[in-house]
């Protein structure tokens, strides 16, 4: 496996001056991001099918072990505050269970039965999407979760850092992040982990784009949880609806903090009409363009 290989360029990194070692590690991070760019088409294809499959009810689930599993959890939990993705439409299958977020659970990644059981217990089905992540691409827990999900009709997306691995073969969409050897041999929390984080950010954000939760580059469905975000929401409504800031603030209050509803109210719809429009088939972007003067 390339992620486990020893790169002779770094065999004495522990003896180098710290500045040189840090510079070499950061070069590795840059190379990792370039590896993601090389598979951008695969990420886009997976995002398009995932967004269509999810519809209005499907769940996004993540499966992984160790660093890869934690990166998946980090990506998923950020979808709720950033895009308003409902918490009940998220699922996380982490080898070793929730305790593995904070500490290593030895041997958990080898438990195929646990991977399958996690998917069964969550009752994943045809409306759902499972993203399995493993640097090696051969983690039994993650492969088993992907196989079980696929058997149950869920869309499966496999993300791995080694070409020709079992995980990529198991998923319907295969995203290869070929990051190669690490500066510290086998430490896939470095380049491989960085590539996984960048790829999952791009994948999940693209899904949110296709789900209509972004309008003209703005997070129009974010959750307002503090004063800073309240100001950002009012600014968005002012910009999108073309109204004065005081009207934007009033509409946001009237909408109960829902930015998209506030925009529709500011554009002249009544309360019930705004909610009905947002729940209908017409995309938010099309609604705004139709209602704008």
- What digits encode the pLDDT tens for the residues 192-213? 899 999 999 999 999 999 999 9
Residue 274's CATH number:
1.10.8
**Is residue 183 scored above 70 in pLDDT?**
no
**Is residue 19 scored above 80 in pLDDT?**
yes
**Is residue 144 scored above 90 in pLDDT?**
yes
> Using 50, 70 and 90 to split pLDDT, how confident is the model at 27?
confident
pLDDT tens sequence across 101-137: 888 887 888 999 999 999 999 999 999 999 999 999 9
Residues 266 and 240 in one domain: yes
Query: Which of 210, 240, 274 delimits the end of a domain?
Result: 210
Is 52 among the catalytic positions? Answer: no
109 lies in some domain? yes
> Using 50, 70 and 90 to split pLDDT, how confident is the model at 164?
very high
Tell me which of 11, 19, 109, 112 is the catalytic residue. Answer: 109
Task: Specify the pLDDT at position 199.
Answer: 97
CB 79 within 8 A of CB 50: no
Residue 12's CATH number:
3.40.50.10490
Residues 127 and 248 in one domain: no
DSSP character at residue 261: H
**Is residue 187 scored above 80 in pLDDT?**
no
215 lies in some domain? no
Residues 66 and 149 in one domain: yes
Q: What percent of the chain has pLDDT over 90?
A: 80
Tally of domains in the chain: 2
**Is residue 182 scored above 90 in pLDDT?**
no
Distance CA 135, CA 156 (A): 17
Token pair belonging to 148: 């079980």
Is 78 among the catalytic positions? Answer: yes
CB 51 within 8 A of CB 211: yes
CB 87 within 8 A of CB 61: no
164 lies in some domain? yes
Query: Which of 176, 210, 244 delimits the end of a domain?
Result: 210
Task: Specify the pLDDT at position 4.
Answer: 63
218 lies in some domain? no
Range of the domain at 194: 2-210
140 lies in some domain? yes
222 lies in some domain? no
pLDDT tens sequence across 56-91: 999 999 999 999 999 999 999 999 999 999 999 999
Mean pLDDT computed over every residue of the chain? 93
Tell me which of 49, 78, 112, 172 is the catalytic residue. Answer: 78
16 lies in some domain? yes
> Using 50, 70 and 90 to split pLDDT, how confident is the model at 186?
low
pLDDT tens sequence across 249-260: 999 999 999 999
Distance CA 276, CA 265 (A): 12
Residues 192 and 238 in one domain: no
116-to-107, 198, 227, 236 alpha-carbon distances in Å: 16, 27, 43, 43
Query: Which of 210, 242, 258 delimits the end of a domain?
Result: 210
> Using 50, 70 and 90 to split pLDDT, how confident is the model at 50?
very high
Task: Specify the pLDDT at position 113.
Answer: 97
């Amino acid at each position: 496996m390339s992620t486990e290989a020893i790169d002779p360029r770094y065999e004495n990194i522990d003896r180098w001056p710290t500045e040189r070692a840090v510079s070499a590690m950061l070069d590795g991070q840059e190379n990792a991001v370039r590896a993601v760019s090389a598979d951008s088409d695969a990420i886009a294809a997976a995002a398009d099918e995932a967004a269509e499959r999810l519809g209005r009810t499907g769940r996004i689930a993540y499966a992984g072990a160790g660093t890869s599993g934690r990166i998946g959890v980090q990506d998923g939990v950020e979808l709720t505050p950033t895009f308003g993705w409902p918490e009940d439409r998220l699922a996380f299958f982490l080898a070793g269970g929730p305790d593995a977020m904070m500490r290593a659970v030895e041997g958990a990644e080898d438990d195929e039965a646990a991977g399958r059981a996690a998917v069964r217990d969550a009752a994943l089905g045809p409306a759902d999407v499972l993203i399995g992540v493993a640097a090696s691409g051969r983690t039994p827990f993650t492969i088993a979760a992907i196989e079980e999900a696929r058997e149950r009709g869920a869309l499966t997306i496999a993300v791995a850092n080694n070409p020709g691995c079992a995980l990529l073969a198991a998923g319907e969409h295969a995203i290869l992040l070929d990051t190669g050897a690490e500066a510290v041999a086998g430490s896939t929390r470095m380049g491989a982990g960085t590539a996984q984080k960048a790829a999952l950010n791009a994948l999940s954000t693209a899904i949110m784009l296709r789900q209509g939760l972004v309008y003209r580059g703005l997070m129009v469905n974010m959750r307002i949880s503090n004063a800073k975000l309240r100001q950002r929401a009012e600014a968005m409504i002012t910009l999108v609806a073309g109204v004065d800031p005081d009207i934007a603030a009033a509409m946001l209050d009237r909408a109960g903090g829902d930015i998209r509803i506030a925009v529709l109210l500011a554009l002249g719809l009544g309360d019930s009409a705004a909610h009905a429009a947002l729940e209908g088939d017409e995309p938010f972007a099309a609604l705004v363009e139709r209602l704008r003067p």
